[in-house]
Structure 1
Amino acid sequence: MVLHITVSFGISAQTLNLEITKGTDLSFTFNTIRQYTSGVVLGNATEFTIDTTVDWDLYVGTETFSAGEWDLIETYSSSGTTSIPVSILEIRADSPGRTSQQSSFFALQDISTPTYLIGSTANDISIGTGVGTNDPGDPIADPFTHKFRVSYKLTPGINYAPGIYSLTVVFTVAEDL
């Protein structure tokens, strides 16, 4: 299974930047039944930084041709279903200061119903320290709150058709409005 990482950002007159510094194209390979049933973890596979002059929100979701399902690239067999939910992919996004609102692995959803790592759909109060920190800053001056490492856990099980599947994980930083 192949995973592509995409970055998007909200447009404003202020500085608002998310830069991936490691891990944009990731591949999962499964060689044993145990890996299919227990999952494969790619620890700290993606790293990104946030540079902003405004309060911000950070959220994540998947983007595929059919919302909520992995894209089928090639199948090797007609047995099993090719309709695979994106939720078999879980992530954990940590900053050194443990500011993410999601403290453990969580299943991904389509970007139309994203999971917020910082902030929410509402206009959040400015949080200077701790969980949910969304103050303006940059990764050099504020490395504990503006740098993130992402780990991925993929547990497909054995009910799906063998093949090559793909999805895009979209991290979005936007001004907290």
Structure 2
Amino acid sequence: MKKIFQIKNCVSGLLTKILEKKQNFFRRHILIYENKFIHSHIETFNLNIILMKKVSQLRAVAVAVILSITFASQVNAQVLPDDNEFVYVAMDLQGVLDLTLATDPNVEFTFNTIPSYVNGIIKPNVTELRVESTVPWDLYVQAETVNWAQLQAFSSAGTSTVPSTLLEVRVIDGAGSSALSNFTALPNTRLNIVGTVGAGDGIAAGTYLTTPDSHFFRVDYRIVPTLTAQYQAGFYGLNVIYTLAEDL
């Protein structure tokens, strides 16, 4: 009987422990589910709060946009139409070709010795030319007449016909070169210093103040009468013409 009673007690103890473990298991799971349920409701509540804030912000933005549109329409409705007056401005652009002789226009040679007749006389840098132009240009020189004009005769011997070519010219620009860099006999026809009768070979618009190399010239003169020509003693004159022309 004692053994049976002991066995019952053991079985009863085991059952009690099993029941306690199951109760503890169910309690833990119930707590887990309760926590999940609570967290789920808290997250839902927070999400609702965020959504309500967003909706409030959108409402505020919408109200601001509506107010700005209303204000702008009111402002536009108050703008007065423009009132215009017109002023007509005319401009007359005239081309400029300006050739300036910056030195004495009178150059005089005196031949009173045999060496001067044979070797000739040179007058360096006695003519200075300055160019200002708004268009491309050419520059040329020539004698006004075929022959020198005898203004006074000192003798009846010899010939009074002295050709213009007895006068020789040499023209040097500001850069130290020119088409007439050597002494050249002066005819009564065009002798080119810059450019030719054709278009497109002149010098561009400018002024000697800013581009002296191409718009500034010095002229040397030379006369060699010789003894063989036997020109009549007298006083002679010849006009030398420098012409600045548009490069056409």
Q: TM-score, normalised by structure 2?
A: 0.60
For residues 99 and 119 of structure 1, the distance between their equivalents in structure 2, rounded to whole angstroms, comes to 14
- Distance apart, 1:99 and its partner CA: 4.5
| Pairs within 5 Å for 1:154-173 | 154-158=223-227, 159-173=230-244
| Pairs within 5 Å for 1:17-166 | 17-64=98-145, 68-110=146-188, 113-125=189-201, 134-158=203-227, 159-166=230-237
Aligned CA distance change for structure 1 residues 55 and 99 (closer, same or farther; 3 Å): farther
Calculate percent identity across the aligned residue pairs. Answer: 36
Cα RMSD (Å): 1.4
Rg larger for? 2
Structure 2 segments unaligned to the other structure (5+ residues): 1-92
| Aligned pairs, number | 154
The list of structure 1 runs, each at least 4 consecutive aligned residues, that deviate by more than 4 angstroms after superposition, is none
- Structure having the larger proportion of residues in strand: 1
What do the CA deviations read for 1:58-81 (whole angstroms, capped 9, x no partner)?
0000013xxx11001011111100
Tell me: higher relative CO, structure 1 or 2? Use CA pairs within 8 A at least 6 residues apart.
Answer: 1
Which residue number in structure 2 is paired with residue 175 of structure 1? Answer: 246
Which amino acid is the alignment partner of residue 199 of structure 2?
N
1:99·1:145 contact (CA, 8 Å) conserved in 2?
Answer: no
Structure 1 segments unaligned to the other structure (5+ residues): 1-11, 127-133
Q: TM-score, normalised by structure 1?
A: 0.83
- Distance apart, 1:13 and its partner CA: 3.5
